[in-house]
Structure 1
Amino acid sequence: MAEARYDLAIIGGGPGGYAAALRAAELNLKVAVIEKDKVGGTCVHRGCIPTASLLQCAYVLDTVQRADKFGISVEGVSYDWAGMQKAKNTAVNRLFMGLETLLKQRKVEIINGTATFSEPGRVQVETGSETAVVTAPNIIIATGSQPQSIPALRSVGDIAMNTTQALEINEVPKSIAIVGGGAYGVEFASLFRSLGAEVHLIEHSPRLVPRDDEDISKRLERIFKKRGINIHTASKVEAAVLVDNKIEVELSKNDEGQTIASDKLLVTAGRIANLDNIDVDSLGIDTKDGFIITDPDMKTNVDAIYAVGDVTYNPQYANFAFSEGIHAVEIIAGINPPPLNLRQIPIYTFGYPQLAKVGYSEEEAVKAGYDIETVGLPFQVIPRSAINKEEIGFAKMVSVKGGPIIGVHLIGPDVVDLISEAMLITNWEATAADVAQFLHPHPAFTEAIGEAALKLAGKPLHSL
């Protein structure tokens, strides 16, 4: 049995794992990444990148279809699903090859195999017909997560797709029922609706994207309904059966039943941590709801064992994993980095419209005991909306009275590209008066943040 020694061993090569590895290499640590599939993880191969690629294709289609609003005549507009898949795969392969090259250039050892971790400082790796042993004084668990099944739907077997399978379907269904109204469900609902499918979006909570600010959630529902998406909130899935080549989903709401018939069923409700080969019991690692618990430095309760990314009890976004991986390595290297404030990292949802937020929602701020004030600003007051013929968009700011802005929430076109400024505002504890003195490019959608700050400061420009 071959044995190799490193300063740091990382189990999993997704965003958290590879970010940790790249930072460790910069700090001259001898580091190995153990990955059973391909580096990049779910994000690159089965999540963020392929989903965003298909949504970009859909966005281009939507844009061309409304070209007449700009005085441009386009006839015979259609989409080619195979072509969209090719565009998606091209993006994925390009990013994968670039990442693999970058890791090798940084002299990160990539070990392809399945890791089994049951003893601190020691990882067994099955590499085909051989078993290797990797030892390191510090171990980072970055094994990610996978789609979670719903008990009521297990009887239908292959009929119910998960998000990974939905990215690889051979053709776009004429109708689809999507279970789960969080970020994943909203993105796929937007995608399939843009491609002409009849969409039913089912959410157990009283509203879509229940972790977002309520004002944003309400606007999303209105926009989706206007797009023709059927929304079923406060609805519980009781069962699903195949009847005459249709999937009939039985729902209950307020003790009343409803049946929805669709060609396909997609389950996006939740994910579970990949811990099959991580013996948390033998290691003594604490978990919550099946996810690893860490402290703010990404340390588990077991000395020299860290966890980052989707395997932890933290929000499941690639940018969170990047931040966590970098932070954990800097702690290991003894750099003493600034505290990692996960609340001040942006959260986002792609599609049409996009959603983006950072910091506290109004409800969260009240529960936290802040004395707050809020403002809302429709994008219609932003001149760029008239130029782009966009009728949607809304910005909301949450501020401590007489103090800093602690939350920014956006819905509308390309708002994911706007949220970075809001991240700086909340992290640097800027007040509305601080932001209001810096006027933004005109005409541009980024003016929404500036106009909201002006309004919050009591000196609105283009709004009442």
Structure 2
Amino acid sequence: MATTYDLVILGGGPGGFDAAVEAAGAGLKTALVEAAELGGTCLNRGCIPTKLWLGATEPVEALAAQTKARVASGSVGIDFAALQTRKDKYLAATRKAMQQRLTGLGVDLVAGLGRVVGAGSLEVATADGPRTLGYRNLIVATGSRPGSFPGLAPDGAKVLDSTGLLALTEMPKSLLVVGGGFIGLEMAQAAQRMGAKITLVDALNRLAGAEDPEVSKTLESVFKRQGWDLRLGVKVASVTTRGAEAVLTLDSPGGGEELRADCALIAVGRRPNSAGLGLEALGATLSGAGYIQTDAQLQSAPGVYAVGDVNGRMLLAHAASHQAHYVVTRLLGHDSGPYDSGPVPSILYGAPEVFRAGIMAQAQDDNAKAPSSPVLVSRAQLIANPIAQAHAATAGFVKCVWREGKVAGITAVGAGVSRLACFATLIIKLGWTREDAEAFMFPHPTLDESLKAALLADKEAA
């Protein structure tokens, strides 16, 4: 006989894990179904291993900046094999800690691929055969996977996606990167610090196309100075393994130019893991690339909720966790209103970093919708900041977007601007006025002073 749970969760990434912890902690009988590893893409094949790479190689960038300022010299050597070993050990230890926490809370962990077979019933293909779970409520948190296009499919040899690149045993001496979004930029920076020559190609005419155009200009300027070969506004016909090389062919009349490197990274976005879950039989609708449509309560069908990447609202781990918290509080009867994310912070890591929360003066994507009323902007350049000067990393700025006299958005680009994330997001959430900024004591010397300078700078039309 199938066990019936108050809540069954499909997917053990940030959203699924946090939902299980909160639900079980509140007394709900909970089961978590995961087909691969706990932690999902973020822990195992995305955010965390990439940050381990960037953290380990940060001294390379720091020394280069001080060398350029003519106050230091030398070199930093990265032991890639040791870095990969450290990465793997850290990820394994984190997965173990996650499992212990879930077990301690009484969550039933079911390893296998789950599929809805009827209202209130889920079948899991486990190693021991199919297992049926009954549920009163279901959270789908199955995340996403690397995307590709015809001619740009990873082949596992010299053409890799982000998962394949993170699994390398040796860093290539040259790397072709297809895609100028956050994934491509972060991985390219880490690879360059470990000695790879970077060639980046994107069909858009600027890097980080979802961000403020001024951010793109800063990134392009910095990466060109670092020796990147940027091919922007051009289309790729194909990327293939040819012998011991990856060969990229540009799409142009009369035969495209070929670019060659030891390896190629396909970083052209992500696709939701929604196929084959059986949700359509319950009334759920998939749209676009397969994103699960949700209503104002994150519900996709009666008693079925979708959180995180799979619903397409915001492909960020902390967004998944925030949505999961909302669903669990709703199931507990503590929240009956619509889901409200508030300002969502997003960060590109590396050097420079990019931070954004709230609106931009001009919308670049659906997650930063254009303001419905006229806005003003104010800004400050990092070159005037003593901490930026101390680190010899002065490229960049902080920009504030004002609507009806209140801060509605903040964008920053430059070394270390991720430190502003929580403070800046709170400023937006609280709707600070200029007077609020004037009354607040900012510590000195800090990077926060550039945020203060931007808040107090003269406003101008966007």
Matched, 1:356 2:327: no
SS of the residue corresponding to residue 223 of structure 1 reads helix
Aligned to 1:202: 201
1:388 to 378, 391, 404: 391
Q: Is 1:101 the equivalent of 2:97?
A: no
In structure 2, what is the Cα distance between the partners aligned to 1:180 and 1:393?
A: 22
Shift in alpha-carbon separation, 1:457–1:189, aligned structure 2, 3 A: same
Name the SS for the 1:153 alignment partner.
coil
Q: Which residue of 1 aligns with 2:373?
A: 370
TM-score (ref. length: structure 2): 0.92
Match of 1:321 in 2: 320
1:67 CA drift (Å): 5.5
- The aligned amino acid for 2:31 is A
Aligned to 2:190: 191
1:123 Cα deviation after fit: 0.7
Q: Is 1:437 aligned with 2:439?
A: yes
Query: 1:330, 1:224 → 2: CA distance?
Result: 44
Query: Per the alignment, in what secondary structure is the counterpart of residue 143 of structure 1?
Result: coil
Give CA-to-partner distance per residue, 1:123-182, whole Å, 9 cap, x none: 111221232211111100111111112211349664320100100111111111111111
1:421 aligned onto 2:427? no
Deviating more after overlay: 59-68 vs 372-381: 59-68
After superposition, the Cα gap between the structure-2 partners of 1:330 and 1:438, relative to the gap in structure 1 and judged at 3 Å, is same
| Residue in 2 that maps onto 1:239 | 238
Q: What's the offset of the Cα at 1:99?
A: 1.9
* Aligned counterparts, 1:450-461, within 5 A: 450-456=452-458
Instruction: Please give the per-residue CA displacement for 1:220-263, whole angstroms capped at 9, x wherever unaligned.
Output: 11111111112111111112344453222111369984321111
1:270 alignment counterpart: 269
Q: Kindly indicate whether residue 305 of structure 2 is the aligned counterpart of residue 296 of structure 1.
A: no
Q: 1:133 and 1:219 mapped to 2: Cα distance? A: 54
Taking the aligned partners of 2:458 and 2:310, their CA distance within structure 1 comes to 39
The question of whether the paired residues in 2 share the 8 Å contact of 1:53 and 1:91 is answered with no
CA separation of 1:389 and 1:123: change in aligned 2, threshold 3 A: same
For 1:377, give the aligned amino acid.
Answer: A
One-letter identity of the residue aligned with 2:422 = S
| 1:395 partner letter | V
Aligned amino acid, residue 411 of structure 1: V
* Distance in 2 between residues matched to 1:434 and 1:254, nearest whole Å: 57
Contact 1:439 1:447 in 2 (8 A): no
Q: TM-score, normalised by structure 1?
A: 0.92
Give the secondary structure class of the aligned counterpart of 2:315.
coil
Flag structure 2 segments of 5+ consecutive residues without an equivalent. none
Identity %: 29
Q: How does 1:117-266 map to 2 (within 5 A)?
A: 117-154=116-153, 158-252=157-251, 257-266=256-265
Please give the alpha-carbon distance, in whole angstroms, between the structure 2 residues aligned to 1:429 and 1:448. 19
Structure 1 window deviating more from structure 2 (74-83 vs 210-219): it is 74-83
Which stretch shows the higher mean deviation, 63-72 or 26-35?
63-72
Distance in 2 between the 1:419 and 1:188 partners?
21
- Over 3 Å counting, the alpha-carbon distance change for 1:153 and 1:76 in structure 2 is closer
Distance 1:153 1:444, change over 3 A: same
Stretch moving more, 100-109 or 73-82: 73-82
Alpha-carbon contact 1:120-1:305 (below 8 Å) kept:
no
Q: Deviations for 1:257-316, whole angstroms, at most 9, x for unmatched residues?
A: 43211111110102111123301332221111111011232111x111000111112121
1:12 aligns with 2:14: no
Task: Report matched runs for 1:36-55 at 5 Å.
Answer: 36-55=35-54
Q: Distance in 2 between matches of 1:75 and 1:220?
A: 26
Q: 1:80 to 1:399 in 2, by over 3 A?
A: same
8 Å contact 2:159–2:240 — kept in the other structure? no
Equivalent residue letter for 1:233: L
Which 5+ residue runs of structure 1 have no aligned equivalent? 459-464
Q: Deviations over 1:3-35 (max 9, x none)?
A: 111110001110110111112123221111111
Distance 1:93 1:44 in 2: 10
CA root-mean-square deviation: 2.3
Output the CA distance in 2 between the equivalents of 1:156 and 1:85.
22
Is the 2:376–2:459 contact (alpha carbons within 8 Å) kept by the matching residues of 1?
A: no
- Whichever residue aligns with residue 419 of structure 1, its letter is A
Distance in structure 1 (CA, Å) of the matches to 2:253 and 2:341? 36
SS of structure 2 residue aligned to 1:422: helix
